[in-house]
Amino acid sequence: MGRGRSRAVKAPPGTLAPTPLHSGWRATLRGLTKPTPARLALGAFTGLIAIVTVLLMMPFATADGTTTPFVDALFTAISAICVTGLSTVDTGAHWSDGGLTVIMVAVKLGGMGMLTLASLLTLSVARSIGLAQRIGTATETRSESIAEVGGVLRTIVITSTSFEVLTFIALTPYMIITDHPFWRSVFLGMFYAISAFNNAGFVPEAEGVTQYASDPLFLVPIGLAVLVGSLGFPVILVVVKKWRRPRRWSVHVKLTLATSGLLLAVAWLGYLVMEWSNEMTLGPLGIGEKLLASGFTAIMPRSGGFAILDVGHLTGESRLLTDVLMFIGGGSGSTAGGIRVTTFALLVLSIWAEMRGNKDVEVFQRRIPQETIRQAIGVLVMGSAVVLAGTFALLRLTSFTLDQSLFEVLSAFGTVGLSYGITDELSTGAKLVLAACMYIGRVGPVTLGAALALRSRTRMVRFPSERPIVG
């Protein structure tokens, strides 16, 4: 044999040709370590949680100068970064002004981080799919106006901070006229503004927000901030830029606003009717106060978490309504949690189209791609699985009822912050379960939706179709 080029050795019939294992492992390793917007954002979230946990364990963070246990500090850090509002300690009484400042900064960073994550993933989807789909995605999300990461960050910071400043300006004078010292009023106005717009629900006062239950000067700014923050950055940007031309709004904006308005109206009427005669909630209030309190309560399950009515005293029907609203959550690309209102709307539209025998899902004179419907189904299944697993774990680890456990898990997954009043009584294992639900609920639907979009591909060969029996 000469020293010429080596010839490939053909594998015997019926056997598989040998493959270089090291190249497969290298490809897998490169895939796992490849930096992506989702991985970078998740890494930043985890790093921030670690830093905030350490800071909250410092003696300066507590009102009595003691060290907060690790699990409670970790739980609060995750709740702040994930803008949830659940806490295993009394926020207003346990933490000092230093600790509250750490929580406030964590909420601000967590809220901006979530908006940034959603926007960066939108850009990733727009740049990774085909040209025709890219044009469609850019049109729907208006990503052509924020084509660069720097532009995304600047727009997010300016937009979110502007709404927070407006809420701060509305609340600070109110705090002054309600006998709070000047600098304390400034601090409370800033804390409430950041907590409300970012849908965090943290309350810096030991008395809670029940002390303002019938005061529109407090409830209206807080409610509006929560509502605007829950709509989502893509919606806010388009509405602000094109508020005079609603016909040019994208389907996403129209669908988010229409579904949010419908859910708000249903919730407002539902709480008003079901709690009207409840002596423990709306019963003792006047008609105007009932309208105000029920409207404020209807906004909070979107992910706000401020409670002026005791959850434990609500009727069973109201708690069920709250469960559903918390699971749905707010708008995509917002500081709210849940499966998102657009996911819910697309699923309802898909069912309606199937009932009418329509092949296509249509809304606002536009056809929704089947890939988008499948993504919505994926987010629904993922969310349901997390809630089911979390509720099962809480039932195994605690002695609380199904109603109580389900409510806490839904509040954690939806990053709402409403509580049955049992969070501080949970065991260490149960606290970690809720912490995991908060983390997954914060980043799960967004990253899963983007991942499904990025994995969308066209196959050249398709199997023959066959219809199984359904139902």
Tens-digit pLDDT profile for residues 252-275: 889 999 999 999 999 999 999 999
218-237 tens-digit pLDDT: 999 999 999 998 887 778 87
In angstroms, rounded to a whole number, what is the distance separating the alpha carbons of residues 325 and 301?
6
The dihedral through the CA atoms of 348, 352, 357, 359 has a sign that is: negative
In angstroms, rounded to a whole number, what is the distance separating the alpha carbons of residues 324 and 165?
32
What is the dihedral angle through the alpha carbons of 182, 185, 186, 191, rounded to the nearest 10 degrees? 160
Which residue is listed with tokens 């109580």? 404
Question: 162 with 228: CB under 8 angstroms?
Answer: no
Q: What's the pLDDT at 211?
A: 86
In angstroms, rounded to a whole number, what is the distance separating the alpha carbons of residues 194 and 149?
24
Q: What's the pLDDT at 189?
A: 93
Question: 418 with 404: CB under 8 angstroms?
Answer: no
Q: What's the pLDDT at 328?
A: 93
Q: What is the pTM of this model?
A: 0.82
Q: Mark out the alpha helices in 285-401 (DSSP H runs).
A: 287-299, 316-328, 341-356, 370-397
Percent of the chain's residues with pLDDT above 70? 76
The dihedral through the CA atoms of 347, 348, 351, 353 has a sign that is: negative
SS3 content of the chain, % helix, strand, coil (to 5): 65, 0, 30
Q: What's the pLDDT at 468?
A: 73
Which residues make Cβ contacts (< 8 Å) with residue 31, sequence separation at least 6? Answer: none
In angstroms, rounded to a whole number, what is the distance separating the alpha carbons of residues 287 and 282?
9
Element at 99 (helix H, strand E): helix 97-128
- Under DSSP, the state recorded for 417 is -
Question: 442 with 414: CB under 8 angstroms?
Answer: no
Which residue is listed with tokens 């699923």? 347
Give, for all 471 residues of the chain, the pLDDT tens digit.
Answer: 444 444 444 445 544 444 454 455 555 445 545 555 556 666 777 888 999 999 999 999 999 989 999 999 999 999 999 888 899 999 989 999 999 999 999 998 888 765 565 555 555 555 544 434 443 334 333 343 444 445 556 667 777 888 999 999 999 999 999 888 999 999 999 999 999 998 888 999 988 888 888 889 999 999 999 999 888 777 887 887 787 888 888 888 899 999 999 999 999 999 999 999 999 999 898 999 999 999 999 999 988 889 899 888 999 999 999 999 999 988 887 778 888 899 999 999 999 988 888 888 888 888 888 888 888 888 898 899 999 999 999 999 999 999 999 999 999 999 898 988 888 889 999 999 999 999 888 876 556 555 555 555 555 666 676 657 655
In angstroms, rounded to a whole number, what is the distance separating the alpha carbons of residues 72 and 42?
22
- Under DSSP, the state recorded for 285 is S
**Degrees (nearest 5) of the Cα angle 342, 305, 256?**
15
